[in-house]
Every structure is written in structure tokens, then in C-alpha cells.
A and B are shown apart, each in its own frame.
Chain A
Amino acid sequence: MEQEQSSKKRLLVGLVILLVLLILGGLFWYFFGRSPEGGREGELFPFGTPSQDTERTEAGSSDTPAAGEGQQVSEINIEEPMFRQLANVPVLGAYALEREGIEYVRYIERETGHTYEVNVRDGSRKQLTNTTISRIQLADWAQNGNMVVLRHLEQDPLSGRDIIKTRLGRLDLSADSSSGEVGGMVLETLPDDITALSVAPDGKNLFYLVKTTNGVSGSMMNFDTRTKKRVFQNSFSEWLPQLLNDGTVMLTTKPSGKVEGYSYHFDPKTGNLVRLVREKQGLTTLGDGTGSRVLFGENIAKDAVLGVYSKSGFPADEGIVFYEKILLITALPEKCVWLSDNIHTVCGSFITTPSGLIPDLWYQGRLSFADTFWAANTDTDELAFLVDPKKEVGQEFDVMNPLLSVDQNYFIFTNKKDGTLWSMRIIQKQTANTSPVDTSGLSPAELEDVKGSLPQNTKPAQ
């Protein structure tokens, strides 16, 4: 009897142990082994890496494979090339717009001044204007891509001095495009010798600087009304401005690799000039749309380091607040773009800092980079390697004048090596099979968690 009870006890204990092991095993599988439906695990933030299933195509291909039957095609076809050459001639200035859900980029052909619009998805191109303006040096788009600020040089016949001429070009697209007619550009003159200018991200206003006898004066111009108002004067004249949508201006001193630079935030309404970043060698900056965060480049021990400044600070342990921190990639802010959340950035980054003064050598055209592409989360400092174009498409890029498409799915840039215009597809979280994702069985919290990674055309299961 006692023996029987003892063996029953042992069996019971064994069953309990087995049950515990099963539960533990299940929990382990649930938290560490399961791949969530519709995405890749381990993703730190919106960007992934090129899928191994992605068909590698040569850059410039405009073929878009048709969707299979019964398969919903996401707005970003996974077989779309990573890189697409949007213009195979040197361009000046690019502007991203969206129309009827399609992403376009407008640009100016450098040699002719003609403007074009290209479909980012399939590379199809349409000429917008045929007004020939040659020898343009710089172009800045405004007013939703309907205006452009053009700068070129003219030689003074008496002194031989180069005068900077600035003109405002308004695209006249009233021609009947269905019959193949092309529009023109109407030009207005702006003041001579504008040393630096900036168009607000919303394209509504222009801020420009002109040297005076005692320093520099800064004026604001509204593109709609063309009213100009002097809002800034300073004894120091070597500023690079960045106009923000709220009418304030970030002013950064012109950089040289071994000279300490400063960056300020100027409010024309109050006259306040608040210092943001101080005494950084080789300082270059890129503010987000609101000026609350600033990417800055700095030379530290011969390395071009990328950092970020925050007006509100980055909280650390024990209540300490830091206002600046370093991101572990080498890049210049002008090779980066901010996403609309003002947290994430995408950059063309050089792996190692070349010898010599940065950014001087790059500005002088004596140095060219071969960039790889990275994304950074300025909240968490996490970095994601996106792609090496040399390995992906056998091409080297020296990223210049970058911008994002309106839907933020494309990183658009000019290749400084030859002036051509390119787009890079930013991989988002999604599966190759874009059929509806079954979210049944997920708790509300889990559903909330995976919502951001669902493809746009995915509907939760009823």
C-alpha cells in the first residue's frame, strides 16, 4: 500500500515537473522564438535592411513587375530597384511633390535651365518649361515647386568683378500639356550680391543676407506678396542661414576645419539671438523643421563626427540633462535629412574621415566621398545601416542636397561626382507577400504594437 502511494507520488511530481517545463518552454518560445506576423523581429525603428529576397536590379531600371493574381501590391513594390537615376545630366536643386498619390521630383537641368518632373516610382519624365537659362550655379525651389530662386554670376564690365545675380523664376505651366506643349519660366530680379539665402521648408518665405559696410543685413521676403523686410543686422557677416517655417532663422558661422564655429537661433519678432551650439571645430548644422533639434558636424581629433543638439535636452540618469550628444557615424549634416517626426534622420555617411581639413576640402571640390547610407534615431542613438551602393549597384555616390519624397519612402539626392539626380528607396517594414495580415488572436495591446509595421493596404482581420 505504502509502495503504491509512493510511486503515485513520484508520478505526480514527475507530471508537475513536466508541466512546468512545458510552460517555461512555451514562454521562452513566445518571447524569444516567435516571429511576429507581417514584419522582421529585432527592428529598432522604421528602417530595415535590404531583403535577401529583393531582386537586385541595375540602377536606372524603370521596369515594374506586375502584381501576381490574388496578391495585393503594396505601394512600395519589393522588386523596385533600390537606386534609380532620376536624371542622367547634371541638375540643380530638386523638389519633391506628391500628386494623386504618386511621388514626383522637379529639377532644373544645369546646362539649359529647363525644368522637368520625374516620377520617382517608374522614372518617367516630363518637361515642364523650355525657357533656356544657362550658367545657373544654384537653384532653390519654393511655393510647392512652382517657383525657384536661381543664382548665377555676371562679370562687371568695368571692374571685372563677379557679381552674384539672383532671380526668382515662376513656372508658367498654363500651356496645354496634353498636346505636348511645354511651359516657360517668368523671371524677376532680386538684389545683387546675395551672399547666402534660405527658403523655408513650406516654401512660403525667403531669407537672404547681403553684405553692408559694417557687416551684414538679413531680409525676409514672402513669395506670395513679394514684400521684403529687413529683419537682421550684425557686425559679423559670415553666416549660413536656415529659415524655419515659423519665421525664425538658424544662423551658423561659415565653417573651416580647425576654426571654432557657433550656431544661433534668431527670432525676428523679438530680436533674440540665442546660442544653440558653441565652439565646435568645423561646425556645420542642419536643424529639423522646428529648430528644436540640430544635427551638427564637428571635427574631433581629425574625425568628422556627427552630433545632435536638443533645445529641451536629453534626459540622463539621476535627473541630469544633456543638451548635446554624439552619434556614432561620420557624416556631414548637409548629407542628411530629418524625417517629419524630427527624431529620425537618414544620411549619406563616409566610413572614415579622410586626411585634410573637412569640410573645407569638400567645399573646394578637392575631395569626393563614396557614401554609404545610414539611418539614426536621435532619441535612442540607435543606428541602422541601410545600404552600400557600391555593393548594391556598383556605383559610388557623393551625396549632396538630399531631400525626402513626400511619403518619406525615397531619399533623393544629387551625386556631387557628376551632378546627376538619384533616388534611393528607403526600405520600410513589410513582407514580400503583401496579402492581408491575420491579426486575429492578438490582444489589443499586441494589435497596437504591430499596427505601425502593417503594410498600408493591410486591413486587420474582422
Chain B
Amino acid sequence: MRSRTFILSIICSTGVLLFPSITFAAIDLITFQTTPQTPGPNQAVTLSLRSFAVDLDSAMLTWYIDKEVLQSGVGKKSVEVMTKDFGQTVTINVVIATSLGTRYDKQFLLRPVEVDLLWEADTVTPPFYKGKALPTYKSIVKATAISRFNSFTSDPSSSFHKWTTNYTQGLGEGLGKSSAIIPMKYSGSSVSVSVKVDNTGAEGGSGTATKNIVGVDPLLLFYEDAPLAGIRFDRALFGNIEVGGTAFTVRAAPYFFSNDDLVNANVIYSWFKDNVKIATGLDSNKLILGKEGSSAQSSALLLSLKNRNRVLQSASARLTVSFSQE
């Protein structure tokens, strides 16, 4: 019994003594950092060394780029290099001789990496609108990573993607997960989304990208819906407009309301003509105005849109249409 206890205490003591060493052995004492984090091809990059365990400020550092000496000196912890084209690697070697006489050899393979973070909001815009659909209160935004690791095209299914929002909140991760869904907040507030992409192919490498997405308020515009020319999306109507003829159709075009709520009829149209609420029939996004008689007439229109599912998505617009005297 006593011998077993003695042996156990020896084992425990050894474990306690060795554990820090094992732990430290698993940690890389000196790491590289690049600025920018994901340099593209033919781009200047600042490559720096960092360490919390080794005093690099007093160490003699010699930098080699593709086996040629780039710079050498005490405390020279960073260099500037250029990436090459896709398909080409820059090999950087650093020999570190500390003041205590310890030598470290580090190598870094610099390959161009491009990670672009594109996003799109699932909000409505008029047909043929060339501009971007912008995100609004609680609308859904989809972010997509387009990455290239040392080649002109990279298959996203061979890269591990890790998505976060607001720097800490996970949005999912996985091999080939090149998109993530981000819920927006209030208008005017910014939601950040980041993606870290690790290439699992032969080339290796990783890159990150971050974007801040700002929400806006929905918008409502009026356009003329002409019988022969169709909807004149190239000229918005506002203020007072004077028209000829005996009929004029006003088409309402909502911008940036959530698509699913428009499809599900959650967006309520309330039309007012000369301060009186009017019904428009099945087609709630247009109003046909008719002229009675030949004298000049005008109608003051107000349209209010409210999303009953996402209550802070609302917009209104006014227009006065005046028929000229014939």
C-alpha cells in the first residue's frame, strides 16, 4: 500500500511538472501576421512576427525572401513584400537568434488570397430596377463569400467557412457553407458580418472578410402607369403634377419592404383622396383618377404602406394630380 502511494505520488508530480511543457510545446511561440489579412495578387503586404514568449525586440532577425536576404537587424520584426500572381508562392524564411542564444527558424508561404463578402437583402424593388435592394428593419440579408486561394477560381465546397455576426455571434459553419443568413436590426443601425474561409485543398491558406451592413427605411414612390407606354419607372412623380386627358393612373412602387410580407399580403395599402379613405379594388398598388367635365380639377393623394408583420417597415407618399382645363 505504501509503495503504491509512493508510486502514485511520483506519477502525479511528474505530470504536474511536465504538463506546462507539454502545453507550451503545443503552442506556436512565434506567429506571423499579415496586413492586409487577405492580400490579393500583386499586392503589397506587411508581414510581422509576434510572440508573447520570446523577446523579439532584442533578437537578431534575418529575413529571406525566396532564399535571398531581404533584411537583417535587431528587433526587425516586420518586412514589406509583394504577393505574386495567382498560382505563385512567395517563400519567406526568418532566422531568429535571441539574446539568450536560442535560435528559431520560421517559414511563411505567402500566396494571394481573395475573399470577397457580398450581401443582398430580400426586399422588394420595382421590376427592372438596376439599383441594389437595401435592408430594412428585420429584413433578411444573405451574405455570400467568393474566395480564391492561389487560383483564378476556387470551388467553395472545398473550403471551410465560419460565419459570425457582431464579432461574436455564430451564424453557422461548415465545408462549402459559402452563404449565411443575417437578420437585420433597426433602420440606421449597423450589423457586422464576418467570414473566415479555410481552404482544405492542396493549396491550403485562409482568408477573412468583414462587412458592416446598415439598415435603411422603406421607400414609396409614385409613377405614371400610361395605357400604351406602360409604367414610367424613369420618372418618379411627386409634389404637384399637371396632366391632360380625362384619366390618369398612378402606380405605387414600394422599395425595400420584405419580399415575403408583400407576397403574403402583410403589407397594407391605405389610399386617401382629398383626405377621404378610398378603396382600390384588387389591385391595391394603383389608383385610376378620372376627370369629370371639362374644367380643371385636382386630387390630393396620400398612400400609406404598413407591414403588419414587421411593424417598423412603413412608408407613405403624397401627390397632387391636377387635370388641366380643356
Q: Do A and B come from one complex?
A: yes
Tell me the bound Cα distance from A162 to B234 in angstroms. Answer: 17
- Which residues of chain B in 163-212 are interfacial with respect to chain A, using CB atoms and an 8 Å cutoff? 178-179, 211
Chain B neighbourhood of A255, CB < 8 A: 130-132
Contact of A237 with B153 in the complex, beta carbons under 8 Å: no
Chain A neighbourhood of B230, CB < 8 A: 110, 134-137, 152-153
A184 lies within 8 A of chain B by Cβ:
no
Complex interface: stretch among A26-34, A347-355, A359-367, A437-445: A359-367
Chain A neighbourhood of B282, CB < 8 A: 160
Complex interface: stretch among B96-104, B114-122, B293-301, B305-313: B114-122
Contact of A262 with B116 in the complex, beta carbons under 8 Å: yes
A256: contacting residue among B131, B142, B283, CB under 8 A: B131
Contact of A238 with B120 in the complex, beta carbons under 8 Å: yes
Give the residue name and chain of the A residue nearest to B213 (CB).
A259
Chain B neighbourhood of A153, CB < 8 A: 127, 230-231
Complex interface: stretch among B3-11, B19-27, B59-67, B221-229: B221-229
Q: With A153-B127, A271-B153, A272-B152 in contact, is A110–B263 under 8 Å at CB?
A: no
Chain B neighbourhood of A155, CB < 8 A: 283
Minimum C-beta distance from A164 to chain B (A): 5
* Number of B residues with CB within 8 Å of any CB on chain A: 42
A138 lies within 8 A of chain B by Cβ:
yes
Q: With A90-B229, A135-B228, A235-B178 in contact, is A360–B114 under 8 Å at CB?
A: no
Q: With A236-B144, A238-B120, A364-B221 in contact, is A151–B128 under 8 Å at CB?
A: yes
Tell me the bound Cα distance from A136 to B227 in angstroms. Answer: 11
B56 lies within 8 A of chain A by Cβ:
no
A161 lies within 8 A of chain B by Cβ:
yes
Q: With A90-B229, A160-B282 in contact, is A359–B131 under 8 Å at CB?
A: yes
Minimum C-beta distance from A289 to chain B (A): 21
B255 lies within 8 A of chain A by Cβ:
yes
Minimum C-beta distance from A174 to chain B (A): 27
Q: With A135-B228, A270-B152, A274-B152 in contact, is A253–B179 under 8 Å at CB?
A: no
Chain B neighbourhood of A264, CB < 8 A: 146
B118: contacting residue among A112, A135, A262, A274, CB under 8 A: A262
Tell me the bound Cα distance from A88 to B4 in angstroms. Answer: 106
A212 lies within 8 A of chain B by Cβ:
no
Tell me the bound Cα distance from A138 to B263 in angstroms. Answer: 25
Minimum C-beta distance from A448 to chain B (A): 37
Q: With A136-B230, A160-B283, A236-B118 in contact, is A363–B179 under 8 Å at CB?
A: no
Chain B neighbourhood of A238, CB < 8 A: 118, 120, 132-133
Give the residue name and chain of the A residue nearest to B230 (CB).
A135
Give the residue name and chain of the B residue nearest to A134 (CB).
B228
Contact of A366 with B236 in the complex, beta carbons under 8 Å: yes
Q: With A262-B116, A419-B234 in contact, is A137–B144 under 8 Å at CB?
A: no
Contact of A259 with B120 in the complex, beta carbons under 8 Å: no
Give the residue name and chain of the B residue nearest to A274 (CB).
B152
Interface centre among B120, B232, B238 (most CB of A within 10 A): B120
Tell me the bound Cα distance from A159 to B178 in angstroms. Answer: 33
Chain A neighbourhood of B153, CB < 8 A: 270-273
Chain B neighbourhood of A236, CB < 8 A: 118, 120, 142, 144, 146
Tell me the bound Cα distance from A160 to B283 in angstroms. Answer: 7
B40 lies within 8 A of chain A by Cβ:
yes
Minimum C-beta distance from A143 to chain B (A): 23
A416 lies within 8 A of chain B by Cβ:
yes
Tell me the bound Cα distance from A258 to B146 in angstroms. Answer: 21
Give the residue name and chain of the A residue nearest to B209 (CB).
A279
Minimum C-beta distance from B179 to chain A (A): 5
Chain A neighbourhood of B45, CB < 8 A: none
Tell me the bound Cα distance from A152 to B230 in angstroms. Answer: 8
Chain A neighbourhood of B235, CB < 8 A: 365, 368
Chain B neighbourhood of A260, CB < 8 A: 211
Interface centre among B132, B134, B152 (most CB of A within 10 A): B132
Chain A neighbourhood of B219, CB < 8 A: 364
8 CB < 8 A contacts A-B = A111-B228, A134-B229, A136-B230, A161-B263, A236-B120, A275-B40, A368-B235, A419-B234
A interface list, Cβ under 8 A from B: 90, 110-112, 134-138, 151-153, 155, 159-162, 164, 215, 234-238, 240, 253-256, 258-260, 262, 264, 270-275, 278, 359-360, 363-366, 368, 400, 416, 419
Closest 5 CB pairs of A and B: A135-B230, A256-B132, A111-B228, A272-B152, A365-B236
B interface list, Cβ under 8 A from A: 40, 114, 116, 118, 120, 127-134, 142, 144, 146, 148, 152-153, 178-179, 211, 214, 219, 221, 223, 226-236, 238, 255, 263, 282-283
7 additional A-B pairs beyond A236-B146, A264-B146, A365-B221, beta carbons within 8 Å, are: A153-B127, A160-B283, A162-B127, A164-B127, A238-B120, A254-B133, A270-B153
